[in-house]
Structure 1
């Protein structure tokens, strides 16, 4: 339940319940726990410094698994990156705010095309 509670903003109750059911039905418990443990231990900052391609970082304002501050840190490490913080969204921002996420992706890609 910890990951469930940390993945979504508090106002996304129905979406949180649906996503949690999907995880429970389709992911072995040990796999989910190992994934969470890995997220809390892995440090990819040195790898991030080597990214040279334009990068869009989208983060939910209420993301408790990978907080906004971590995404801001990545933004500083990745040359040619842009960060977008989506208000009132948690870790599963693409599920909670799909229109905003898609708009940001479209805008980012259109600028790359020129």
Structure 2
């Protein structure tokens, strides 16, 4: 959206918030660092252990075996070069606050990765924004409450 300002976009949906330049997860920096360091190891079994560790923070409700297998498989396919690359976080707040298109923010109240306060900060920047906070849901609303997420997205999309 920022790189192609002439493209027509009718609406924007954010699920589980933004990772931004000043992002701080709900878990301690030590926990987060210990887990993420395993993701750049050259030993694949260490990487899978790290992937499994990060997945534990994805949901508030117990995770199904299917979802765990899906996320481990998805993450394991990431090229080692990408996992080891240093990417620069950017500040999205200024850009997001300029959006006037309808915006839906779906937020998990119990998100261990993106704190509720952080999600609310971004949701409140939207000029034409709506926010829905799912009680007792973590970082993966589509998996933890598929029916509500699908219904809310369909309702939002049908109104734009």
Residues 52-91 of structure 1: pairs in structure 2 closer than 5 A:
52-91=100-139
Instruction: Kindly indicate whether the alpha-carbon contact (under 8 Å) linking 2:61 and 2:144 is maintained by their aligned counterparts in 1.
Output: no
CA distance in 2, matches of 1:86, 1:7: 14
The structure with more helix, counted as a fraction of residues = 1
Relative to 1, partners in 2 of residues 1:110 and 1:53: Cα closer, same or farther, differing over 3 Å? same
Relative to 1, partners in 2 of residues 1:46 and 1:15: Cα closer, same or farther, differing over 3 Å? farther
Q: TM-score, normalised by structure 1?
A: 0.76
Is there any run of 5+ residues in structure 2 with no aligned partner, and where? 1-49
RMSD: 2.5
Residues 1-114 of structure 1: pairs in structure 2 closer than 5 A:
1=50, 2-29=53-80, 31-32=82-83, 41-112=89-160
Deviation at 1:51, TM superposition (A): 0.9
Is there any run of 5+ residues in structure 1 with no aligned partner, and where? none
Rg comparison, structure with higher value? 2
Q: Aligned residues, how many?
A: 109
Q: TM-score, normalised by structure 2?
A: 0.57
